[in-house]
Amino acid sequence: MEQTAGPRRRRYDPARRERIAAAAIRVIARDGIDGLTHRAVAKEADVPLGSTSYHFGDMDELLRSAVELAEALNRDVLTEILERLEPERDLAAAMAGLVEELTVRQREQLMLDYELFLAARRRPNLREAARRWVDDGRALVRRFTADDITADTVSQVFEGLLVHAVVLGEPLEAARVEPLFRRALAG
């Protein structure tokens, strides 16, 4: 007796949307934003092609989700580093150490983050996520400063140094940039 296939049951996979977004980040890291396609992401996520368009109606929605995921990951890293501040390790040293970590040891991740962040320049639907990225970083720094102006200044120094490192391809050592943070914190 020949068995016929019954109706296919959909596999329950509550993390699929996030896995697809994470795969989009890997595709962008490998191929750039222009290489972001449903097909490339589906292959990277090891899901059926229809899953990407089911979870993300278009490329802008997929890209926005990738930006939001990258922002959340960055916020987690910054939170972890700042929350480890000990009385003898001050904010200037911590921020300088983070700049070195990002521009030396996590350079590829930094390049990817800025590619995603700068995508908002040409894609207005990403600007809200990019704004949140900046605001969340400033809010974290604000917890360790005396006032909003100091937090904004430290955040601008941080962001400026990272842009400098990305555009000019220069790794920045903590000892080189720590005086900038000390000056910003001194007021």
The mean per-residue pLDDT over the stretch 142-154 comes to 90
Could you tell me which of 80, 55, 54, 77 has the C-alpha nearest to residue 66? 55
Could you tell me which of 32, 65, 62, 68 has the C-alpha nearest to residue 49? 62
pLDDT tens per residue across span 86-117: 545 688 998 998 899 889 988 888 888 888 87
Give me the number of domains the chain comprises. 2
Q: Are 56 and 19 in contact (CB under 8 A)?
A: no
Is 100 domain-assigned? yes
* CATH number for the domain harbouring residue 108: 1.10.357.10
Is 8 domain-assigned? no
Is 3 domain-assigned? no
Give the list of residues 6+ apart from residue 98 with CB closer than 8 angstroms, or none. 78, 81, 158
* CATH number for the domain harbouring residue 48: 1.10.10.60
pLDDT tens per residue across span 21-76: 999 988 988 888 888 899 999 999 999 988 898 899 888 889 888 888 888 887 78
pTM: 0.75
Domain co-membership, 71 together with 110: yes
Domain co-membership, 71 together with 44: no
- Structural domain including 39 reads 14-57
Is 7 domain-assigned? no
Is 130 domain-assigned? yes
Domain co-membership, 39 together with 86: no
